Amino acid sequence: MPLKLIQRQGSENFYIRGTVRGQSVFESTGTCDRKVAEEIRIQAEARLLKESVHGKKALVTFTEASESYVASGGSSKYLIKKNKKTGKVTGVVPQLRGKLLKDITQSDLDQGAAALYPTANAETKNRQFFTPFIAVWNHCVLNQWAEPRQWRRPRKPKGTNVTVLKRRRAGTAPTSYDRAATFVAEMSPAPAQIMTTLFYTGMRPIELFTLEAYQVDVAARWISLDETKTGEPRGVPMHEFLVPLFEDLLETRKGVLFLSHKGEPYPPSDEFGGQISGAIEGARGRLAKRNIEIVDISAYTGRHTVSTQLVVNGVHPYIKDQILGHAADDMSRHYTQVPQQPLIEAINTLPVPQAWRDLWWWEEPVYWSRRLVGAKQKKSAAIKSA
C-alpha cells in the first residue's frame, strides 16, 4: 500500500507509514505541519520506488556515506570542519555535497582538492583530501553502496631534484626520558598525568583518554584494553612508577580515569593527542621563557619513546610488539603470546629520572589534577612559609 501520513497518540508530529514494493516504512517526519509532512511523504515514496528499481547504489550521496562512515567509528578529521569564529564549514564533504556516489569522478576529486587546498603540495592534498575520501569510499564498497575503484592520487611534479627541508612533525620521533621529564614538569597536573602514563605504558592517546576503572588491575600491574587500533583486545603492563597514580585515580574515580582540570572526560577521538594540545603549547611557551626549546614533544612521543627505549634495553621484539599492540607482521609472531610477567619486567626497564619522581603533584595526583600549573608556585610558597 502507498505511504500515508498518520499521527500517533501523544505526539503532534506526523509519521509516515506503509509499504512500497515490499519495503515497510514507519518513521517520523519530524514536523507537525501537514503540508511539509506531505512533501516529505512524497519524497520518501519516490526515493523508495527508485531504490526498488535501481538499487541503493543509485541513491546514496557522499554526505550520507560520510555520516555512515563516522557513525561506524571512522574519523571525521578532514571530512568536515567548522570554524568556531566564522561558522564556515570546510572539508571534503562540503566540496562533494549533493553528489551521488555513482556520479563522482576523478575530476571531481582533483577539482575539490585544488579548491580546498589551492597552495598545498601533493602530500598535503593526498593526506587531507584523497585519503579521507578513499576511506569513505571503501566503507561504501563494504556496504555494497559503491563499486571498487582505483582513484588516482596526486604526485610530486617530476623533473626536479630540489629537496625541501621540513621540520619533523612533533610526536613522530622518540626523545630521552630526562628531556621528557623537563617538558612534563611545565604542564598542569591533569595533562602531565596523561603524558606520564603514555611515557610509561606506550599506549596510544585515544586508548588512555577512554580508559575506565574496570580495565585497570593495580595489584596485577595490568591494563586491559577492550578495543584497539588493530581491532583486537590486548593487555598493557603497568610500570611500577605508575602505581601511586593509578591507586589514587581508582580510589576516587569509577568511570573514565583521566579527566581534564575541569573534571570532564576528554573527547574520544584519535586526533594525535589533540585533546591536550593546549597544555602542550603552554609547556613549550613556559620553557621558551627559560630559553629552553622543546617543540618536538607531543602526546604520541611517549609511544615512540617506549618503543625505542625497549629496543635499547635489549627487550625481545616479540615482547616489545606485544606491549605496544603492534599488528603481527609474520605468522610466527601472530601465534606468539607472551605471558604477563615478562611484559611487566620489560616495561619496568624504562628509566625514571629523579626530576619525574619529584614532580610537585605526585603525592596527591587527583587533588592537584583540578588545578592549573600556577598552583605549583602557590604550593612552593606554602611549603617555604610553613
Comparison of pLDDT for 159 and 332, the residue scoring more: 159
Cβ-based neighbours of 253, under 8 Å, separated by 6 or more: 213, 259, 366
- pLDDT, tens digit, for every residue of 142-165? 888 888 889 999 887 766 555 555
The answer to whether residues 112 and 129 touch, using CB atoms and an 8 Å cutoff, is: yes
Lowest mean pLDDT among 42-56, 95-109, 365-379: 42-56
What separation, in Å, do the N-terminal and C-terminal C-alpha atoms of the chain show? 84
| Position 81 confidence tier, pLDDT thresholds 50, 70, 90 | confident
- pLDDT, tens digit, for every residue of 218-256? 999 999 987 655 556 788 999 999 999 999 999 999 899
Cβ-based neighbours of 103, under 8 Å, separated by 6 or more: none
Residue 101 has pLDDT above 90, yes or no: no
Comparison of pLDDT for 158 and 323, the residue scoring more: 323
Lowest mean pLDDT among 168-172, 222-226, 278-282, 368-372: 168-172
> CA 141 to CA 214: how far, in whole Å?
37
Residue 198 is predicted with a pLDDT of 96
The single residue listed with the C-alpha cell 626536479 is: 160
Residue 332 is predicted with a pLDDT of 40
| Position 100 confidence tier, pLDDT thresholds 50, 70, 90 | confident
- pLDDT, tens digit, for every residue of 25-36? 777 777 888 888
- Phi, psi dihedrals of residue 265, rounded to the nearest 5°: -65, 150
Q: What is the mean pLDDT of residues 51-66?
A: 70
Residue 334 is predicted with a pLDDT of 40
Residue 233 is predicted with a pLDDT of 78
C-alpha cell at 128: 587531507
Q: What is the mean pLDDT of residues 192-208?
A: 94
Residue 164 is predicted with a pLDDT of 53
Comparison of pLDDT for 77 and 306, the residue scoring more: 306
Residue 330 is predicted with a pLDDT of 45
